[in-house]
Amino acid sequence: MDIKNLKKQAQKELNLLVKIDDLKEFEKKYLGKKGKVTELLKSLKNLPQKERRLIGKEANELRDKLMLAIKAKKEEIKRNEIEEKEKQEWIDITVPAKKIEKGHLHPLTQVAEKVEEIFMSLGFSVIEGPEIENEWYNFDALNIPKDHPARDLWDTFWIKEPSTKNQEPKLLLRTHTSPVQIHYMEKHKPPLRIISPGRIYRYEATDASHEINFYQVEGLMIDKDTSVANFYFIMEEFFKSFFGKETKIRLRPSFFPFTEPSFEIDVLCSICKGKGCSVCSQRGWIEIAGAGMVHPNVLKAVKINPKNWQGFAFGMGLDRLAMMKYKINDIRLFYSSDLRFLKQF
């Protein structure tokens, strides 16, 4: 075969190659044992010497060129393969990542934790009590006897126990956190300082300011000569830490069977600063807690001698605290599980 044609043909075929397997095939076809160029070189010996030299030179050149071209092609194919791979594996690091949704604590839990933190810094321990109580803890021990009109203050969820008729004392869902005072004083001797946040239950029609269950935090401090002055100081410290330094409080006389004297604690309305607005019903102050000096009968019920020990107690709504802090006008939002509401905290 004409060497020039052979060369042209090889060149043409080589140019069209894209796969490494085809290149191997090509190499075999031209340079393999029975390859075209190999055959050509083998056949040289049959030629007359003059021709042999001439054709031999060209054939050898062709072989060398092909070898080099195959090597170059091999590299080219490899390079292309890598480029192709890189293209497929390319990651756009500027694309915004998928957001991982993180949950957070419920606003009431956040408020409870804040309240606990402040009282702990004032030397109080945090105690929990049961949500199912018997009437002795919820009423009697707190100086609320059976026929006392104060029992009407707390319309109650009683728990029926069909198996035991005339069950005494009767069970109920606690209507306030005050029974925790009794549990604690039964087991611990004064001096003592505790708070107890927790859920309570009332049998009521719900509206923007009433729920059938909500949260309270109870407080109790008993010592040798704890006075109203100590009480006032602790309360002022607490409300200033919770609502801000400029917060003011005031005490109003009130009545609770388990305290004497009893007070209502008001805080200055944070919206109008005392001028009067719709949030505080034009009063300038917002009622936030019930409190007082622990009644001697309560101490007697837990076998603490009121002649040696005295102190104060208070109870406030955590929901009310949260509503004031975050300016929320409907208590039912806390229990609605509405993410549009919850996500704001």
Closest CB 244 distance from ligand DAH, rounded Å: 24
Tell whether residue 310 is a contact of ligand DAH (CB under 6 A).
no
Strands 259-268 and 249-256: antiparallel
How many chain residues touch ligand DAH (CB under 6 A)?
Answer: 12
Q: Tell me how far, at minimum, the Cβ of 277 lies from ligand DAH, in Å.
A: 25
Q: Which of residues 190-219 bind ligand DAH (CB under 6 A)?
A: 218
Nearest CA to 6 out of 24, 31, 33, 42 is that of 31
Q: Are 229 and 239 in contact (CB under 8 A)?
A: no
By CB under 6 A, is residue 115 in contact with ligand DAH? no
Min dist. Cβ of residue 259 to ligand DAH (A): 4
Helix/strand/coil for 313:
strand
Buried b vs exposed e over 293-312: b needs ≥16 C-beta within 10 Å?
A: bbbbebbebbebeeeebbbb
- 319 part of the interface to ligand DAH, by CB under 6 A: no
Residues 6+ apart with CB under 8 A from 302: 141, 182, 185, 186
CB of 197 to ligand DAH, least distance (A): 13
Question: Measured from the CB of residue 94, what is the shortest distance to ligand DAH in angstroms?
Answer: 58
Q: Is 129 in the site for ligand DAH (CB under 6 A)?
A: no
Region binding ligand DAH by CB under 6 A among candidate stretches 3-11, 203-211, 279-287, 308-316 = 308-316
**Looking only at residues 247 through 286 of this chain, which bind ligand DAH when binding is defined by CB under 6 A?**
256, 258-259
Q: Is 314 in the site for ligand DAH (CB under 6 A)?
A: yes
- For residue 12 the two structure tokens come to 């043409």
**CA-derived radius of gyration, the chain:** 45
- When asked if residue 107 is in the footprint of ligand DAH (CB under 6 A), the reply is no
In whole angstroms, how far apart are CA 341 and each of 110, 229, 270?
Answer: 15, 40, 22
Among 37, 249, 268, 291, the residue binding ligand DAH under the rule CB under 6 A is: 291
* C-beta of 107 vs 315, nearer to ligand DAH: 315
**What torsion, rounded to 10 degrees, do the Cα atoms 293, 297, 298, 303 define?**
120
Instruction: Give contact residues for ligand DAH (rule: CB under 6 A).
Output: 176, 178, 218, 256, 258-259, 290-292, 313-315
